[in-house]
Amino acid sequence: MIELTRIAEIRARRDEAFRLGTRIALVPTMGALHDGHITLVQKAATMADEVWASVFVNPTQFGPGEDFERYPRDLETDRARLAASGCTVLFAPTTAEMYPRPPAVALDVPTLSSSLCGAHRPGHFGGVALVVTKLLAICLPQVAVFGAKDWQQAAVVRRLVEDLNLPVSVHVAPTRREADGLAMSSRNSYLSRDDRRAATVLKRALDDGAAAVSAGERSAPTLERCLASRVATEPRARLHYAAAVDPDTLLPRDPVGPRVLLALAVHFGDTRLIDNCLVEVA
Ligand code: AMP
């Protein structure tokens, strides 16, 4: 695996790949890699000749008072994990390389950014859209792989790629979980031992919601109450939102359609965790 930090170096490598007909799959990340990220790398390897991963903690997607400064960074471990999982190019630019001056361009997908996390994190998906577009423009991969854990992010990226006719195929891989059901996340490292134990309530709430759908429940507000009431059984958890929405529009749909996305954001102390589950209704 080679590690590049400069856009010009990536471009040269991309030109070479283009000349040789090598297909690239890109896995964009913010580092502090866990097995969920590695699953994306492994999936990417089945979809192209080379897997490139980016590690960049993107400042433009963090709001004031969010965890940009304390976001976990461990490039040495990331490097070893990526090399061991078959990644061929690690792109780890500095902030100055990605943003030599404050960007004047703003990208927004307002229809998909107004609900769920977007309603509580103004500007977040604009920052995601900008950095993903830049990474795609820099690396020009044929395939880009994202995780379903960040469902709204994947929806924004898909729409961005479609509307801007970006020449890349977007693949969304399933959420990888710990043995007790907690979705893997770089932010899990923030959790105290008690909060880590309590955080399993997200998956249990989603399971309750999915079971309610299986039992015939079709009312979105009732499903939301079902999620929220399970979260409320955990005293350490503070619910941010519990939603049952259309998985494509991310907007409320009542009664639910043929597929419903159950989504949660829950605080444990200063740490905000998200999780979701797609349920086939029919
Ligand atoms: P992040 O580094 O958290 O920005 O995530 C980089 C990519 O990994 C995104 O596409 C995430 O959706 C994906 N990802 C994060 N956690 C998981 C997980 N537990 N399972 C699968 N993909 C994940």
Q: What spacing in Å lies between the alpha carbon of 20 and ligand 1's midpoint?
A: 30
- Atom of ligand 1 at shortest distance to CA of 147? 12
Mean pLDDT (the chain) is 98
Buried b (16+ CB within 10 A) or exposed e, 69-92: eebbeeeeebbebbeebebbbbbb
The answer to whether residues 129 and 160 touch, using CB atoms and an 8 Å cutoff, is yes
Please indicate whether residue 267 is annotated as part of the active site.
no
Instruction: State the CB neighbour count (10 A cutoff) for residue 9.
Output: 15
- Atom of ligand 1 at shortest distance to CA of 148? 12
* pLDDT value, residue 65: 92
Dihedral-angle region of residue 280 (phi above 0 means left; psi in -120 to 50 means alpha; beta otherwise):
beta
Pocket of ligand 1 (CB under 6 A): 29-30, 36-37, 39-40, 146-147, 149-150, 173, 175-176, 183-186
β pairing state of 2-4 and 89-91: parallel
**Would you report the helix, strand and coil content of the chain in percent, each value rounded to 5?**
45, 20, 35
Q: What spacing in Å lies between the alpha carbon of 259 and ligand 1's midpoint?
A: 22
Dump pLDDT digits (tens) for 163-204: 999 999 999 999 999 999 999 999 999 999 999 999 999 999
Q: How far apart are CA 62 and CA 187, in angstroms?
A: 14
Dump pLDDT digits (tens) for 133-165: 999 999 999 999 999 999 999 999 999 999 999
Q: What spacing in Å lies between the alpha carbon of 36 and ligand 1's midpoint?
A: 6
272-to-23, 38, 67, 234, 266 alpha-carbon distances in Å:
37, 22, 10, 15, 6
The answer to whether residues 185 and 36 touch, using CB atoms and an 8 Å cutoff, is yes
pLDDT at 282 over 90: no
Asked if the peptide bond before residue 167 counts as cis, ω within 30 degrees of 0, the response is no
User: Which residue in 34, 37, 124, 267 is the catalytic one?
Assistant: 37
Alpha helices (H) in 99-150, listed in sequence order: 110-113, 116-120, 124-139
* pLDDT value, residue 23: 98
Q: What spacing in Å lies between the alpha carbon of 57 and ligand 1's midpoint?
A: 13
Q: How far apart are CA 175 and CA 156, in angstroms?
A: 17
Report the nearest-CA residue for atom 17 of ligand 1. 36
Q: How far apart are CA 261 and CA 27, in angstroms?
A: 24
138-to-28, 135, 166, 237 alpha-carbon distances in Å:
12, 5, 12, 40
Report the nearest-CA residue for atom 22 of ligand 1. 147
Dihedral-angle region of residue 61 (phi above 0 means left; psi in -120 to 50 means alpha; beta otherwise):
alpha
Q: What spacing in Å lies between the alpha carbon of 212 and ligand 1's midpoint?
A: 27
- Atom of ligand 1 at shortest distance to CA of 146? 10
Amino acid at the residue 247: P
Ligand 1 mutation target, pool 66, 150, 185, most atoms within 8 A of CB? 150
Dump pLDDT digits (tens) for 189-242: 999 999 999 999 999 999 999 999 999 999 999 999 999 999 999 999 999 999
- Atom of ligand 1 at shortest distance to CA of 150? 12
